[in-house]
Structure 1
Amino acid sequence: MGGPAVWQRGIRTVVLGAVLVILAGCGSQTAGTTPEATGAATSTAWTLASPSRIAGVRTADGGRSLVVDADVPDGAHDCVRGLRGELETVAHGTVYVMVTFETRSLDRDSGCTGTRRAEAVVKLGEPLRSHRVMVNNLDVYTPTGATPPALRQCGENGCDPTPPRCTPSSYQQAVNDTDVPEHTGSEERGCDDTWLVLDLSTRTGPVCGDTGDGCPNSGVSQRWFYRAETSGWRPVATNGEAGCVGIREVLPELPVRLCASLPRLDRS
């Protein structure tokens, strides 16, 4: 009896194989597509990648999880699969996480030339508390000074900026926190425990070499007023008039001694 049973299974295997071959042959004739188009959409290799930008991090599940907002490839076809956030380690007060996915975007023919926002969830196992979070060994976030559930991204001055001081390093931190181009220079015009006045200047115009090469030099100047906060100097107003004209209408609490001798700002 063992022989016929084996033989019957053999027939079923052959028949099933033939059916699969027939279906495989018919599958390439899907209405509305061509073999070339179908091949282009499916033959592109999937590659492991990381987000082009981390847009933000926030806590969830009572601080036991992180939600990472990430920019990932997008296009007409499937461009991302397997998006995942993983906890790598916790060391020295920092939670290290990695966000990765697979994508076809490295092949321009895939059509994955755009971006979209996606969420990756990272399970921590225990509340984040005061730990910092480093994503993909690059972006650092902290709950200190943030509005829950969002975390605050640490900037050029680190996660714990120095308190405001009347020192060159503190002035540079103020410039870094002001919406001005990189390589902007500063000149201190007045400072006390509460207020700081800086003249900021930025070179503009065509890209040129050293002075004297025939390229015209020009610049844009602004006068910024800062108020001291626990996290550093915060820019609150700008004004280029001489003395206290105009600025005390905006900042009536600004001491006269810090603006009385200010020269009119040269904007050339």
Structure 2
Amino acid sequence: MTSIERTAYPRFKRLMSAREMHVFFTLKREEIDWARERTRSEDHLLALALALKCYQKLGYFPKASEVPETVVEHVRGALELPEGTRPHYESANTYRAFREVGRAVATVQLLKFISDPSLRRRVTAATNKAESFNNFTGWLAFCNGGMIAENDPVEQEKAVKLTSLLANCVIFHTTLDLMEVVRELQGEGWQITGEDLAAISPYLTDHIMRFGTYATTELTARPDAFDPHLDVDFDVEEPEPAAA
């Protein structure tokens, strides 16, 4: 169960994976151009870029002291700024305006989250799925604690995409194995429902040998075509909330 601090009022994680850093805090070219057009110094550029990416990730503008140094370094590297550049607003009023807007947005979101049970279920389910995938990719990328040593954004992007590709391949293989087990159970007379399958995770690790033997001689072998169909009714209705 994801805590309310991670959903309605998210905060920075104490340790962020390389994939999370790349996905949430890597600036797009149009974002860099937008920030450069609106700033007159490198420290103000860094401050505006940090505010932009933090708001996109958290939904509000955090205090400067709350932004992890790893995030500052990542954004600074994406902007290709000198190592000693620190975020600084040219006007204290700018920071205060960002802070108050962020507080208002976060308060509205928190109230919606508290008052709407359906929203809580959707947010929690979506957050848990994302966290499960991130944990799975972190488990696969076990070398160097999952950290990317390269400061080059291009190399970082390649590492993240290749790790995601590996994770998707393993998930696909695990899903095929699960489908085969479901067909065997149905053949034995078991009734399998969509609700049963909803409780099964594709992020299993017990059957994976990360330090095992890898048969590269079979890389050119063409696999058999897989059957994507399962004779299961997936139309599971969401239970109605109990009357007050």
More strand, by proportion: 1
- What TM-score range do you get, normalising by the shorter chain? under 0.3
TM-score (norm 1): 0.22
Greater RCO, CA 8 A, separation 6+ = 2
TM-score (norm 2): 0.24
More helix, by proportion: 2
Structure with the greater alpha carbon radius of gyration: 1
